[in-house]
A and B are shown apart, each in its own frame.
Chain A
């Protein structure tokens, strides 16, 4: 079984928000609905300060807090590693939104359910990379199968010494970042 993941090379990211927009186009979201956000991060010490960008979306954790707190079991993890929300089961209690340390979820007021990145699973099932990966003009985003040791992403994780977001929280995310 594959284990799909993303690797995001933040050293290449220019903060253009193409990924956010591509995601909104792909998933037919409103302009204020972001399954993928770009945060500006300030670093360094005065006078040599820097600013860089951090793109955050669902981390498709192996131990997702959203699944353990969801009272109706509307959150589940597919065998290929994608964390999903069953919109026909969600009651809109927002507990998952509160419990997600990555703040990766939005509330769809119209449907009354929580929504988030689903790693473009329909594209992935057809063998096409997620919209955010294809759209990135800096080629900072890589999609692939971590179970396959010969895949590009598996090699890049090792070569670029990629890390995960807040691994200390014990959520075991599937997304890797290079910074």
Chain B
């Protein structure tokens, strides 16, 4: 496989950033007072996370890294999912960074131009959020399409892979928002609603996402395993072979079992858990998302020719 960890890391960061943005959008629509810390987290994080993916992408390039003027051609092939990615990532990163900038107070220089720009961005905030939501949706799906269109790799060439990446992007993005808001707004009162109480609702949505993700992973591996010889070998690499430790510990335990146990315990308890528990469950989700991207790349075997 020509791709390795840098591409997995980039797919993970782009998905998580897009998911964080979509978390902020949903939170803003649902209850912008109660979920204020999550909205802030989502808008601050999304531009940074997707932007952080770019160095990984560029590090993996060849001539495009040493001769960066060639990168202009990246927009030129409408049949390539990678070109679609450039189309959506290029406007998304600055847009998300501006929206994140509106959420923080500390980077606010007293220059007239900065104040004018901030006022302009604030006036257009709703429109920017709408455009950003569409772009984030596109990014979250494109990371799966990029791999899904490859006929030569049976592990990827299935329509459930983009859906799995989409759900995983939402889940890791939500987790990133929760973890970030823990550090920036923990124990803070927001209009009389305690942060932990808002997590109580969030965690129920998050458990639904993880259940969906589990169903997708199961269906994906089951269908692929019943395909060609190469496809079955890829699945075997994951379940019992070279990557089984990563699969069962990284994806199944950290990505699914650990957070689900904590969310389930919270539901059984019937009241919000201590924020430290939520920190554990959601960091665990993020780790699971990274391992999932890495294994999808690592276990990709090419088709047999004869």
Contact = CB atoms under 8 A, between A and B. Distances in A.
Interface of A: 39, 41, 54, 56, 65, 68-74, 87, 89-95, 97-103, 105, 107-109, 111-114, 165-166, 169-171, 179
Contact of B151 (A93, A101, A108, A179): A101
Interface stretch (B41-49, B58-66, B215-223, B268-276): B58-66
A18 to B, nearest CB: 21
Interface in B49-75: 60-67, 70-71, 73-74
B203 to A, nearest CB: 37
Nearest to B64: A91
22 contacts: A41-B306, A54-B305, A54-B306, A56-B305, A69-B79, A69-B149, A70-B80, A73-B76, A74-B73, A91-B61, A91-B62, A91-B63, A92-B63, A92-B65, A93-B61, A98-B2, A99-B149, A99-B150, A103-B152, A105-B2, A111-B63, A113-B62
B152 A70 contact: no
B305 A71 contact: no
Interface of B: 1-3, 60-67, 70-71, 73-74, 76-77, 79-83, 86, 149-153, 300, 302-303, 305-306
B264 to A, nearest CB: 39
Contacts of A114: 62
Contacts of A91: 61-64, 70-71, 73-74
B64 A93 contact: yes
A92 to B, nearest CB: 2
Contacts of B74: 71-72, 91
A72 B70 contact: yes
Contacts of B149: 69, 99
A120 to B, nearest CB: 22
B121 to A, nearest CB: 31
B89 to A, nearest CB: 12
Nearest to A41: B306
Nearest to B302: A103
A68 B80 contact: yes
Nearest to B305: A165
A166 B230 CA distance: 13
A154 B217 CA distance: 48
A71 B73 CA distance: 7
A166 B62 contact: no
Given A71-B86, A98-B2, A101-B151, A93 B77 contact: no
